[in-house]
Amino acid sequence: MKNIRSEKTKNRNERAYNLKLVSIGSVIILLVIILAANILFDKLLGKALTFDFSSLGKYSISQTTKEVIDKIPESEPMRIVGLFERPTNFEYSIYEYIVPLIDVYDNYAGSKISVEYVDPETYPSIIKQLDPADVYDLKSDTYVISYGDKLVVVDPYDCFYWNEDALNLNQLLPTANMVEYTFTNTINQLMVEYTKKAYFVTGLQEDASINLMSILSSIQCDSAELPVSEGFKIPDDCDLLILNGINADIPERVQEEMKTYLSKGGKLFVAVNFYSNASEKYEHLNSVLATVNISIDDCIIQEADPSYVLVSTNYEAYVDIADEFKSFIDNASKLQASYARPIRQTDVLASNAVSYPVLTTSDNAKTQIVKDNALELANEGKYNVGMYATYSSGDIRPEVYVFGTTDLSSDAYISSYGYSSNNISFTISCFRNMLNVAPGEYINVPVGQLDSRKIDSTRVTATSITLLAIVFVAIVPLLFIICATIVYNRRRHL
Amino acid sequence: MFAIFKRELLSYFRNPTGYIAIALFSFISGVYFINLLTRGAINISSEITQMRSFFIIIVPIVTMGLFSEDRRRGTEVLYYTNPITLFDVVMGKFLAAMSLFFIMFINVFIHMIMTKILGGVVVTGDWGTVIVFFFLAALFVALGCFASALTDSQLISAIVCFVFILVIQLVSTFASFLETGVVTLLETFNIVNSETANAIGSTISDAINWLDPFTKTNNFRYGVFSVIPLFFCISIAVFFLYLTFRILEKKRWSQK
Amino acid sequence: MIEINNLVKHYGTKKAVNDISFTVNDGEVLGFLGPNGAGKTTTMNIMTGYLSSTSGTVIVNGHDILEEPELAKKDIGYLPEQPPLYNDMTVIEYLNFMCDLKKVRKNDRKSMLSEIMDMVKINNVSDRLIGNLSKGYKQRVGIAQALVGDPKILILDEPTVGLDPGQVIEIRKLVKSLSSSHSIVISSHILSEIQAVCDRVVILNRGKVAAIDSIDGLSRRLSGTSKFLLTFRGSDSDALAKIKMLSGIQDATVRRSEGEYHEFEILVSNSTKTDPREDIFFVMAKAGYPILEFRSLDPTLEEIFLSITG
């Protein structure tokens, strides 16, 4: 055996063999070195050798954010999940401001924050994993930040303020970049323990309330759903009952439970509108509200005062904040309300309750009622769009806010106008008042900048575009093609 | 090295090749530039990023003849029998191809100046994409050199180079396919629970994506510069140049 | 000048060059003679550093081609069988590139190139595209390329192959004129060519050196006889008898016959003082057989090997 091998070695011509060995060996060694060096560099120096030279520093996180991240305990990491495939080309999209910034969070936080992008269409299991109780109705194209058993949904569009005029033109133009503000505050709020719990009554064809849940979590209030099933029972830990954007009346059996809830000093928030449920009279709900002297009418308010009107159909208009509630919001005395139902005091007053207007129309608003499938003009006058009620005396003080519009709490409104719009600030104040919690701890994170790549429109006329197009797309390439032909022909005949 | 560099660079302009590559680049970048112009906002880095997807056409044109032609017409003997090293040859040719890319890129510089003239902005991130462009070009040109050294047919080397670049451009797609595949497989056969399956899937796709030079260098355009991705590109380029050098060297001792 | 020791080159299991050793002396023209596939080109490729040998050494002016390639290659100008020409360059562009490659100093360049172009007579085509030149000119450009940098040694692999007779003579003249200032190694599979230009000859067969000898020595070895081909019209048996009777004729055989036309192969002993060709002419004239063709036949390489080894 040994003999054969030595024989073989002898026969093999040594020099070529050695050269081959050197050749293949060196290639392998180089490959290993390159891989090792890259992996090592990546792991050890990746952070140190990354520099944010962006002119606006929009991919650096502020000191405040760093402090918030530092607060996250190592033992309980936070999870940021983008419910979409990580975009690779964010050209002209808001992801340009979000995705790289979230990476910076990730880089800074190390193991404290994990960032993933999971498309629920590919992995439906992610939804169940993040939200096992199916409270949040998680949708694609949002970020979910989960921490322990808490969870907040951040819609990328809510990280910006938008030019509202442009919204109508269907041309989205962000006017402020609140990405870092939103994420840092959300992270910060997630670390605060919930002290209150709100229940959203479901099963009434209600609209989604994800954004409202986020708002509640910002004031340390947890959210849960409460379906109007058989044996409907308002739990004892319920600090606030919410009927947000319901489109159907509550069933009769729920009625008594809610009356009892109120009589024991429960807090209730109701928001309905006329738009999607014109025929609904809310008889059972009204019978509950009657215990605090409030009734929802089944007609629609049409504003007539031109200084109030927002849209020419007159269904979208400003509403005044009643004097008692002006303190709920600084520097604004009007809110917006659309397709509103009037909220009024009941005709027969309960002696122990007292109700106040919260939002009112102008003096010359009108109402329209549905008759024979058409709207018919009813009375003229001043209407309430929102009312507040409580008991006039005693230790038990239920509190009820009823709004005839969903513009103060709907996801649709919040998505369009943002958390810091006047309407939403007002709603937050209502919640805070009822729940008696300190103002949500919004920390001051510098507002990010937006790139403006705009060119001077006076210099870019149709003519100049045509001219440049001819030069860059036609003349320059053609010149080179001509050069190629000339060179080819001249040299060919040399 | 300079002798080879000079000859190869001039050779681009003695043949139609160089002019055609430049014309192609001018045309495509021009179309993008005008497209941006009509939108009223010029983001020059998006033009450059778009140009990267044309590496797949331009790189093979530029590199296909570098080594394969020498083999075909028998001029490679000059590199072995003259007092230069094969390393000089590889570097000279590589640098010549890179120079051609630089010349093509003058188009973009002109577009940048044009943007300024039109009142637009050129931000740090745009220079980031310029840097990335050249590092990626280096990577792909090195790849092209390697493909060219493999064969004596320009066509074959162009196809090989095309396929190489295609593969690299599809790395991220491939990674996500593989991820989905693995996760589905693991979940269907209940080998592990879905959480573990997802974790395995994402680990695999992360590992493959780690090789993707495009993803790695994405943040440059936002002004976030990192040395690591550049080092990655350069080291891959060095590897392929070394491989090219070894292929030339092999000719010497090969017994076939 | 060049020392070649125990050169071996394997291709797979085949030994293209099998233990070759010889020296190229200063100022001599060494011929490489051998049939196709004898290992001439491989040996030359190894001598110039194009290929690396499986074993054995090539030492050029004291520098090993593998260990000090740059120094060794400086002294060598090589014209491979297929001239390494860029068809897309003009002659002058190409020669300038060669100057770059051989690191010729800028100042010397102009005079060197004009000297070379004079020497190989390509002045008139200096601005023409190499791809458009005739084969002969291409060969000359190839030689010019080998001359750039003023190497002491020229290695020319089959420089006359594929050229027309006029061009062959030109190239031979050129080699002769170069031999005064250079050591030249030239390969060929044609004996007469080697005899025409070389001082010494290395005969290769199947990768081995069959013989190394001076041209005179080689002639002596081949001197026994020379061979002629005679074509005429007439009676073959009569002519054969008449020719055989002449002095100095060793043998005459009929190679081919077609009716009245015959081809004879005549073996002549070189020891006779008179040229038997004259006698043959007169004999044939007298007999009234017109000579259609009468020329000397080169011995085939096989015959040479036979005569050398035999």
Which DSSP string corresponds to A248-273? Answer: SPPPHHHHHHHHHHHHTT-EEEEE--
The single-letter DSSP state of residue C1 is -
Q: Which of A174-178, C45-49, C156-160, C201-205 has the lowest mean pLDDT?
A: A174-178
C111: domain CATH number is 3.40.50.300
CA-wise closest residue to C193 among C231, C148, C156, C234: C156
> Per the CB < 8 Å rule, is B231 touching A41?
yes
Of all residues in chain B, the percent with pLDDT exceeding 90 is: 45
Q: Tell me, what's the pLDDT at A397? A: 86
pLDDT tens string A155-194: 888 788 766 554 444 445 677 788 888 888 888 888 877 8
| pLDDT at site A54 | 66
Q: Are residues C40 and C157 in contact, defined by beta-carbon separation less than 8 angstroms?
A: yes
**CA dihedral in degrees (A53, A55, A60, A65; nearest 10)?**
160
Of C186, C221, C256, which closes a domain? Answer: C221
Is the confidence at residue A438, as pLDDT, over 50? yes
Residues C108, C54: one domain? Answer: yes
Confidence label for A310 from pLDDT (cuts 50, 70 and 90): confident
Q: Tell me, what's the pLDDT at C163?
A: 83
Find the CB nearest C129 among A13, A19, A494. A494
Is-contact A100 B224, C-beta < 8 A?
yes
Q: Which residues contact C190 (CB under 8 A, 6 or more apart)?
A: C160, C298
How far apart are the C-alpha atoms of C289 and C261, rounded to whole Å?
10
Q: Measure B238 CA to nearest chain A CA, in Å.
A: 9
Cβ-Cβ pairs closer than 8 A, A with B, add up to 194
H helices of chain C, in order, are 40-47, 69-74, 91-101, 106-120, 135-147, 165-178, 191-197, 215-222, 236-245, 276-287, 301-309
Identify the three-state secondary structure at position C179.
Answer: coil
C33 and C143 both lie in a single domain = yes
Nearest chain C Cα distance for residue B70, angstroms: 9
Residues composing chain A:
494
Q: Are C87 and C131 in the same domain?
A: yes
Q: Which residue has the higher pLDDT, A314 or B104?
A: B104
* CA-based nearest distance C54→chain B, Å: 8
Phi (first) and psi of residue C37, to 5 degrees: 85, 10
In angstroms, rounded to a whole number, what is the distance separating the alpha carbons of residues B237 and B251? 22
Confidence of residue C11 (pLDDT cuts 50, 70, 90): confident
Is residue A89 less than 8 Å (CB to CB) from chain B? yes
Model pLDDT for residues C55-90, shown as the tens digit of each residue: 888 998 888 888 888 888 888 999 998 899 998 899
Look up tokens 């880089």; give the residue.
Answer: A107
What is the reported pTM? 0.70
Higher pLDDT, A485 or C214: A485
Domain boundary, last residue among C187, C221, C255? C221
Residues whose CB is less than 8 angstroms from the CB of residue A263 and which lie 6 or more positions away in sequence, other chains included: A291, A396, A398
pLDDT at A173: 65
CATH number 3.30.300 is the correct assignment for the domain at A196-436: no
Residues C207 and C258 in one domain: no
On whether the CB atoms of residues C143 and C81 are closer than 8 A, the answer is no
C160: left (phi over 0), alpha (psi -120 to 50) or beta: alpha
Domains contained in chain C, number: 2
A378 vs A369: CA distance, rounded Å? 6
Asked if the model's pLDDT at residue A308 lies above 70, the reply is: yes
CB atoms B81 and C50 under 8 Å: yes
Which chain C residues are closer than 8 Å to B78 by Cβ? 84, 98, 101
Rounded distance, CA A321 to CA A327, Å?
A: 9
If DSSP codes are grouped into helix, strand and coil, which group holds residue C212? strand
Looking at per-residue pLDDT, the higher value among A145 and A447 belongs to A145
- Residue A473 CA: distances (Å) to CA of A470, B26, B32, B61, B119: 6, 7, 9, 20, 21
Structure tokens at B50: 């778009």
pLDDT confidence of residue B241:
94
pLDDT value of position A58: 63
Min distance C48 CA to chain B CA atoms (Å) = 6
CB contacts of A453 in chain B (<8 Å) are 41-43, 120-121
Are A102 and A87 in contact, with CB atoms under 8 Å apart? no
Structure tokens at A238: 């319920």
Of C242, C292, C282, C283, the residue nearest C262 (C-alpha):
C292
Residue C82 sits in the same domain as residue C170: yes
Nearest CA in chain A to C55: A15
Find the CB nearest C11 among B3, B77, B256. B256
CA distance A227 to A200: 8
Residues from chain B that touch A477, judged by Cβ atoms under 8 A, are: 23-24, 26-27, 30
Mean pLDDT of B86-107: 93
For residues A391 and A351, give the distance between their C-alpha atoms in angstroms, rounded to a whole number.
9
Using a 10 angstrom Cβ sphere, with 0-12 exposed, 13-18 middle and 19 or more buried, the burial of residue C180 is exposed
**Among partner residues B10, B76, B82, which is closest to C73 by beta-carbon distance?**
B82
Mean pLDDT of chain B: 87
**One-letter amino acid of B169:** Q
Q: Select from C129, C130, C133, C137 the residue whose CB has the most chain A CBs within 10 Å, as the one to mutate to test that interface.
A: C129
How many other C-beta atoms are found inside a 10 Å radius of the C-beta of residue C109? 15
Return the amino acid letter for B232.
F
Whole-number pLDDT of residue B93:
94
Cβ separation A49–B228 shorter than 8 A: yes
pLDDT at residue B239, rounded to an integer? 94
Which residues of C lie inside 8 Å of A (Cβ-Cβ)? 8, 10, 52-55, 88, 90, 127-129, 132
Instruction: For residues C26 and C121, state if they share a domain.
Output: yes
pLDDT bucket at A465, cuts 50 / 70 / 90 = confident
Distance CA(B223)–CA(A222), nearest Å, equals 39
Same domain, C58 and C181: yes
Is there a contact between C44 and C99 (Cβ–Cβ < 8 Å)? no
Cβ–Cβ below 8 Å for A51 and B219: no
Q: What is the pLDDT of residue A161?
A: 75
Q: For residue A447, give the DSSP letter.
A: P
Count of residues for chain C?
310
Amino acid C291 reads I
pLDDT-derived band at C91 (thresholds 50, 70, 90) equals very high
What backbone torsions phi and psi does residue A359 show, to the nearest 5 degrees? -125, 135
In whole numbers, what is the pLDDT of chain A averaged over residues?
Answer: 82
Q: Measure CB to CB from residue C12 to each of B2, B15, B256 and give the nearest one.
A: B256
Going from the C-alpha of A369 to that of each of A271, A298, A301, A372, B91, the distances in angstroms are: 19, 7, 9, 10, 84
Cα–Cα separations (whole angstroms), residue C132 to A491, B10, B200, C117? 10, 19, 63, 18
pLDDT of residue A9: 41
What are the residues whose beta carbons fall under 8 Å from the beta carbon of C144, sequence distance 6 or more?
C91, C95, C116, C117, C119, C120, C122
- Residue showing tokens 């010497």: B252
Summarize pLDDT for A25-52 with one digit per residue, the tens. Answer: 999 999 999 999 988 888 887 777 777 7
Smallest CA–CA separation between C10 and chain A, in Å? 8
pLDDT in tens, C252-304: 888 888 888 888 888 777 666 667 788 888 888 888 888 888 887 766 666 66
pLDDT band at C95 (very low <50, low <70, confident <90, very high): very high
Q: What's the confidence (pLDDT) of residue C307? A: 66
Share of chain C above pLDDT 90, in %: 10
Measure CB to CB from residue B75 to each of C71, C86, C103 and give the nearest one.
C86
Among A15, A491, A493, beta carbon nearest to C55: A15
Q: Can you give the residue ranges of every domain in chain A?
A: 21-50, 56-194, 196-436, 455-484
| Domain A56-194: CATH class, spelled out | alpha beta
At residue C34 the predicted structure's pLDDT band, cuts being 50, 70 and 90, is confident
C198 plus C281 within the same structural domain: no
Q: What is the DSSP letter of B218?
A: G
Buried/exposed A219-254: b ≥16 CB within 10 Å, e otherwise: bbbbbebbebeeebebeeebbbbbbbbbeebbeeeb
The residues near C181 (Cβ < 8 Å, ≥ 6 apart) are none
For residues C124 and A57, which has the higher predicted lDDT (pLDDT)? C124
Residue type, A83: L
B144 backbone φψ class: left, alpha, beta (φ>0; ψ -120 to 50): alpha
More confident residue, A70 or C310: A70
Verify whether the Cβ–Cβ distance C128 to A494 is below 8 Å.
Answer: yes
Q: Which residues of C touch B74 (CB under 8 A)?
A: 80, 82-84
Q: In this model, does residue A6 exceed pLDDT 50?
A: no
B240: CB partners within 8 A, 6+ apart: B139, B142, B143, B145, B146
Here the tokens at position A53 are: 């030279």
pLDDT at res. A1: 42
CB-based contact C240:C252 (threshold 8 Å): yes
C108 and C192 share a domain?
A: yes
Q: Pick from C192, C221, C250: which residue ends a domain?
A: C221
Give the domain extent around C276: 224-309
pLDDT for the residue B150: 92
Among A52, A454, A468, beta carbon nearest to B34: A468
- Indicate whether A61 pLDDT > 70: yes
Chain A residues 91-110 with a CB less than 8 Å from chain B: 91-92, 96, 100, 103-104
Residues C107, C50 share a domain:
yes
Token reading at C193 = 């060519």
